[in-house]
Structure 1
């Protein structure tokens, strides 16, 4: 749930008040509850700039990005490049410039790549959430639109940190479709379980068809509806145990949920090619080719799930 921010439109060219870096605005990327994001050029390099009139909200996002961009943690979200103030039409604003991530939002990527990639990318997502949680934050407004699959290396990155909340507080922003309270499975307290519930719902949502998903949103809403979908889905049923544990807040960490999903993914990736194996006596040398292909499939899938 969110409302449009009353942020003034940026001029075509602007300069930060303190750091004096100049930016050329190329186009608006989107508006959120606490600011507007633009695609800009800064010294010939494309960046994303988020500007808002509520300085404390913007600075909280800055602090989160600073916390999670060390070493391997840098893959959690976009890299922070600049933080400054400016005045637009007499209104004081705060902005930050960050790495511009090119790619597709998660749901659009799955539409192109296929639903078999859903568990692989959810495993990656849980690795990002684990880092965020260890720094004391809950993402909150976790949904496919706020998850990017980068164009360069096909890794999952979180975007739009406007809903990130200190753990223990009330979630600042949420989307009903993925919200724990919406499904009558808990409250809106910012904790590890809140994000894991959202991640589990996202996995179900991206795996099933649009019509089936829309029908699950009818009243009354409860996790039993989600369980019914999982039970009837050949793709989701093997992951039923970790998904149900996420719905009921049984995981202590995102890393724990990730490990259980990865175990199932590994087993399915190894077993799946066996179903396509030729019958004895029908082929000779083709078996070795199938074996090599199976190994490559296994190696590639597990690499993306584990290391990216």
Structure 2
């Protein structure tokens, strides 16, 4: 729909002005919009039941978010009339920021520790509420303001124990023969690990996925990339556990991520420069010589 389109809710009567397209998905389009002086994002779909399901998920999460003092994500659910037909949509809080890879390219990979911690903390909250995000990928992780993280596009959110509703192949553990497509926290841990491989070593990862037969793909292929990637080598043990689903829960994964980066940071602290003995001696000799010359000049 062209910029400037006015979208009027059939039931709630709110008037939104579409500013620009933000993204296209399998089940809808997302636009940046304004409602009076406020800015929001609007998702327009074709299947009312599917879009309503997404809105219900966001509403349930908002109940948890309010308990943590965060603003609601879901703002409005309604229909609008287009060519005589009712089209469903919902409006949500607009999340500013850049996709993960773009943020790291601009600000540096030293942000991996902070961003990863905040993202895993967010995932832990979802898991504790009974949900798996499932479709973790670069475009669905927006970073802004000193590494603050938001997940976007909740279309793939799946209740724990159900079959994953939406995923991206290269991030999917089933694609790498590392587990089923049943929603559990470990499914997100795998996607979280793949996020960092894709963000820091995307070219080799895509080459690997394109050259390996489905029956030959596995976690060990991914770990070979990790071990030869200087940016990820310090997190080798953490990533191996994530790819194998080897954490007790997401809070343990969060704790271990923080510990891995504390060790990494301590190893990277520059040591105090050691001054060789010959340089110290030369300095002392120079000072003594200067003092001698000064005294000769004063008392001649």
TM-score, normalising length from structure 1?
Answer: 0.81
How big is the shift at 1:142? Answer: 0.9
Match for residue 272 of structure 1? Answer: 268
Please tell me the root mean square deviation across aligned C-alpha atoms, in Å. 2.4
Q: Are 2:241 and 1:245 aligned? A: yes
Distance 1:10 1:114 in 2: 34
CA contact (8 A) 2:100 2:138 kept: yes
How big is the shift at 1:144? Answer: 0.8
Distance 1:153 1:230 in 2: 26
Distance 2:137 2:129 in 1: 21
Q: 1:132 to 1:164 in 2, by over 3 A?
A: same
Consecutive unaligned residues of structure 2, counting only runs of 5 or more, are 281-300
Q: In structure 2, which of residues 189, 200, 206 is the aligned counterpart of residue 196 of structure 1?
A: 189
How big is the shift at 1:55? Answer: 1.9
Greater relative CO, 1 or 2 (CA 8 Å, sep 6+): 1
What is the aligned length? Answer: 273
> Once structures 1 and 2 are overlaid, which stretch shifts more, 66-75 or 77-86?
66-75
How big is the shift at 1:93? Answer: 2.1
Match for residue 130 of structure 1? Answer: 124
Q: Which has the larger Rg?
A: 2
Match for residue 42 of structure 1? Answer: 35
Distance 1:167 1:9 in 2: 38
TM-score, normalising length from structure 2?
Answer: 0.83
Match for residue 175 of structure 1? Answer: 168
Residues 43-82 of structure 1 mapped to structure 2, 5 A cutoff: 43-69=36-62, 70-71=65-66, 79-82=73-76
Match for residue 4 of structure 1? Answer: none
Match for residue 112 of structure 1? Answer: 106
Match for residue 294 of structure 2? Answer: none
CA contact (8 A) 1:10 1:88 kept: no
Q: In structure 1, which of residues 212, 215, 239 is the aligned counterpart of residue 204 of structure 2?
A: 212
